[in-house]
Structure 1
């Protein structure tokens, strides 16, 4: 979203190891080598490539396609930068549900899990969030109620981050290396980048250790090893000017929100650079309380975005949580008045105004007119261009009587934080007979209501005010309303209709449709090329893996299964293939590697098969022998009239005996034939044949030997004395023959039942 000649871009250009070049549209391009050709990709395309990689990572973990997403964005990004990021998402084919400010995402991540937030009618809990990442410093104050979050204000230093602290270390060690080793790291970009990496590691070590920490880099430049050391106190002294800048955004935030330090309940810090002890101390000292680190410093923003995405998605059930963001910069509208060729200006959204939000402006015009949106405070915006864009309201015409037409313009800051003139409509009077066929707007106007055109020919209406003033009725509803109104409230009514007007937008830094479509097509081709390249690399890696793996096994487990002659020939082929891979075969087509692997497998597969057969065959023969003995034993017991198998039919058992006999004969022949073969020869009998015989044996014998015995019904005992008796008499043995145990209805001695005398002798 920035031009190539932007001072920020030019400053960043010095720190990069690749070339930035201007694009035809004045944007920033990156010159790279792609597919052995020089290409220039726009920053939007580079961002799209990053999003493509993130999309692939998400899809591989989720095992399903990804289309919707929420993308975080620094809260100080302007409209141009936000639109540019949305273009990058569109190039990839991602549907960005929301561009979410970093600090708002952190606040959502913090608040949605809190169960002890005050009720909506109670005083909100104020929490300040501080984020110092790699390149920027952002702070925000948020008010929390149950299931509700409102961003009260934001402040930032877009040029203060972890990399600034790294830069201080780099400058220090560059001077030390220059004086000590007579080397200039800044003369070579790659050496400088390496020093940046080592200084970043050193900074992290100093955050957890206050003693001297060494810095050692081998073969830094001209095969020279360099070394140095630094401790925390030296580091803090070196970065004193950076540490002083921490308080400015904090002061700005408190002034904007009119908060006092004692109003703040907690101070949550996130971002990698907040791990620096001096940074923590400065923040804690400002608020007069210990900082809190309950959030994951590296993932807090991403988790907030994930939660927002889940809230917006119908596929997830998430607890209700309202998020009201804030507009980071005040936005004004400029227009030409018709009276004296003067300009009218009005601030439509103040700093920290609630977002998303819509407002309606009413103009009185006889023809098309232009609105220009811009940031009211250019000095407070970290972007060289204060204009947002121009909007031409078209097809405006005077009324039939020559009077000015009433035009309503709706302006909006949407969920992405982007300003737009979303709709425009012209209010036209409607004749009574026409009003029956069209939806009309009924307005109540007194005769003395006239617009003031000199000082302000625009009426600014909030959403709530618009709802109170304007009603849309069907004809029946209109009649009902008329009947409901008391006589004294009646005023002359004018029936009108709204005619939608086209809006032509000319925005600062917007990719044209043709250019955007070209980028989308290019990205699609590169994604396909990446897929083909991955397949090619996989084929190449398969050859390399086969060479290394098989060569190791030839001198190990496969050694006995290949004759000396074949061993020498195959080893030579493996060595030759290895050399080819790193020379002329370094960059071949996928099919070349596939064919090379097939040639290797023609020699390797028989060896591998003989080894596997030698491993599996003894186990399978042992299992086959066990089953044969099992079925032979059952057949023998059947012949010996064993009661367990006497129910089996004679013919069925003969089938079992015949099958066992045939399989025994086959196994003996197979074992005999295999015994004549050496290990480096193909086997006489294969595991698959043994498995087949085992399956055949089980299919024939198992159904026969597992036949269940037929059930025999036991004879029912008759009661000769009383067939209707509810109990049975059982022989209890010699000791109980003189006992009577009548049982009826669960009672041992039913008192009200007739007992039966029985002659037990």
Structure 2
């Protein structure tokens, strides 16, 4: 054990404060001496203060059976030496005397507490007694998990996993767009020459066939590894050419059904008007006759038009006529 010795000069001022600095790696003693041992005895020795640190650790066992170290805190006891005096009417000398008396009283109280077990009296108003507090210091921790990964490594792995999932989703969506474009090319090539043939003129059929062939060639050459948006734009360009023809084809069957529905509605209204008063009966009959004449006129006009142009009357127009008559 090493020693650290220092002294205060004889005849020095009282009180005197001496500050010394010493760097040590091992336990040491501090020895205080008067310079002349013949006059006074030595003071000490005083050992350096040693204490056992109190550390509070929080450990959690989660639902997966994994132990996790949450936090570690050093708990230190602290003595509060603050003294508060609220006697504002006292002079500075009286305040100093009162503070000295309080300090002396505290020392006497410490001695008497060991000899007597009387309950302590309540402190007088305006004075804050010395108390004991607790100081908590957080300790940085770092987990070392056997056969596992650290938190930062796990976070990076999760981020990479999410990125890979996004890439996989993007690849699948791009593949779906490409397959949809390819299927549309094959489907429309057959329909434009067979099913939709009478609903498109020669120029439209040639243009659409040429565009479909160009798209197919592009798919197997330059368009093998294009983005999802490029495939979607190609499909939209083809739909702009084919949709008018497809709408004319679909509306022909829908228009025939709408005509049948309107004629049935006219017949039902005629049958219902038989039991109505003459005024209402005449009004219903008049509306039915107007609807029937309108349908016959539009049907004759439509029959005179070729199928490769937009119809004179769409099925939606006939359905609105039926709804108005039913109302």
Same fold (TM over 0.5): yes
The alignment status of 1:680 with 2:291, answered yes or no, reads: no
What residue number does 1:403 align with? Answer: 51
Q: Which has the higher contact order (CA 8 A, sep 6+)?
A: 2
What residue number does 2:262 align with? Answer: 624
Closer/same/farther in 2, CA of residues 686 and 403 from structure 1, 3 Å limit: closer
Is this contact kept in 2: 1:539–1:593, CA < 8 A?
A: yes
What residue number does 2:323 align with? Answer: 695
Flag the structure with higher helix content. 2
Residue by residue over 1:362-417, the C-alpha shift from the partner in whole angstroms, topping out at 9 and shown as x without a partner, is: xxxxxxxxxxxxxxxxxxxxxxxxxxxxxxxxxxxxxx963334445565654433
Which residue, out of 219, 227, 230, partners 1:592?
230
Residue by residue over 1:518-558, the C-alpha shift from the partner in whole angstroms, topping out at 9 and shown as x without a partner, is: 66665555555555544443432332121122223335433
Is this contact kept in 2: 1:413–1:419, CA < 8 A?
A: yes
Which residue, out of 633, 645, 655, partners 2:276?
645
Is this contact kept in 1: 2:69–2:143, CA < 8 A?
A: no
CA distance in 2, matches of 1:559, 1:613: 15
What residue number does 1:571 align with? Answer: 209
| 3-state secondary structure, aligned to 2:306 | coil
CA distance in 2, matches of 1:540, 1:415: 45
| 3-state secondary structure, aligned to 1:695 | helix
CA distance in 1, matches of 2:228, 2:70: 52
Residue by residue over 1:549-575, the C-alpha shift from the partner in whole angstroms, topping out at 9 and shown as x without a partner, is: 222333543344334554344334323
Mapping 1:55-70, distance limit 5 Å: none
Closer/same/farther in 2, CA of residues 518 and 503 from structure 1, 3 Å limit: closer
Closer/same/farther in 2, CA of residues 611 and 412 from structure 1, 3 Å limit: closer
Cα displacement (A) at 1:580: 1.5
What residue number does 2:25 align with? Answer: none
Closer/same/farther in 2, CA of residues 633 and 425 from structure 1, 3 Å limit: closer
Mapping 1:158-237, distance limit 5 Å: none
What residue number does 1:507 align with? Answer: 144
Is this contact kept in 1: 2:75–2:137, CA < 8 A?
A: no
| 3-state secondary structure, aligned to 2:226 | coil
CA distance in 2, matches of 1:410, 1:602: 67
If the length of structure 1 is used for normalisation, what is the TM-score?
0.27
CA distance in 2, matches of 1:407, 1:587: 61
CA distance in 2, matches of 1:503, 1:511: 15
What residue number does 2:94 align with? Answer: none
Cα displacement (A) at 1:633: 3.5
| 3-state secondary structure, aligned to 1:605 | helix
CA distance in 2, matches of 1:633, 1:418: 81
CA distance in 1, matches of 2:73, 2:226: 63
The alignment status of 1:546 with 2:153, answered yes or no, reads: no
Cα displacement (A) at 1:620: 0.9
Is this contact kept in 1: 2:302–2:311, CA < 8 A?
A: yes
| 3-state secondary structure, aligned to 2:142 | strand
CA distance in 2, matches of 1:662, 1:592: 52
Mapping 1:19-418, distance limit 5 Å: 402-407=50-55, 409=57, 413-418=61-66
Is this contact kept in 1: 2:76–2:134, CA < 8 A?
A: yes
Residue by residue over 1:585-613, the C-alpha shift from the partner in whole angstroms, topping out at 9 and shown as x without a partner, is: 22223343233223322331122112111
> What RMSD, in angstroms, separates the aligned Cα atoms of the two structures?
3.7
Cα displacement (A) at 1:674: 1.4
Closer/same/farther in 2, CA of residues 511 and 420 from structure 1, 3 Å limit: closer
Residue by residue over 1:680-715, the C-alpha shift from the partner in whole angstroms, topping out at 9 and shown as x without a partner, is: 34322211111121122122xxxxxxxxxxxxxxxx
Is this contact kept in 2: 1:425–1:498, CA < 8 A?
A: no
CA distance in 1, matches of 2:138, 2:224: 62
The alignment status of 1:659 with 2:287, answered yes or no, reads: yes
Residue by residue over 1:499-523, the C-alpha shift from the partner in whole angstroms, topping out at 9 and shown as x without a partner, is: 464242252564474x666666655
Q: How many residues align?
A: 229
Is this contact kept in 2: 1:663–1:693, CA < 8 A?
A: yes
Is this contact kept in 1: 2:144–2:150, CA < 8 A?
A: no
CA distance in 2, matches of 1:412, 1:601: 61
Is this contact kept in 2: 1:613–1:686, CA < 8 A?
A: yes
Flag the structure with higher strand content. 1
Cα displacement (A) at 1:615: 1.1
Which residue, out of 597, 607, 613, partners 2:251?
613
Cα displacement (A) at 1:431: 6.4
Is this contact kept in 2: 1:426–1:500, CA < 8 A?
A: yes
CA distance in 1, matches of 2:60, 2:236: 64
Closer/same/farther in 2, CA of residues 555 and 422 from structure 1, 3 Å limit: same
The alignment status of 1:671 with 2:315, answered yes or no, reads: no
| 3-state secondary structure, aligned to 2:141 | strand
Cα displacement (A) at 1:619: 1.1
What residue number does 2:240 align with? Answer: 602
CA distance in 2, matches of 1:422, 1:682: 74
| Farther-moved stretch of structure 1 (525-534 vs 679-688) | 525-534
Unaligned runs of 5+ in 2: 1-47, 83-131
If the length of structure 2 is used for normalisation, what is the TM-score?
0.56
Unaligned runs of 5+ in 1: 1-399, 435-494, 638-643, 700-761
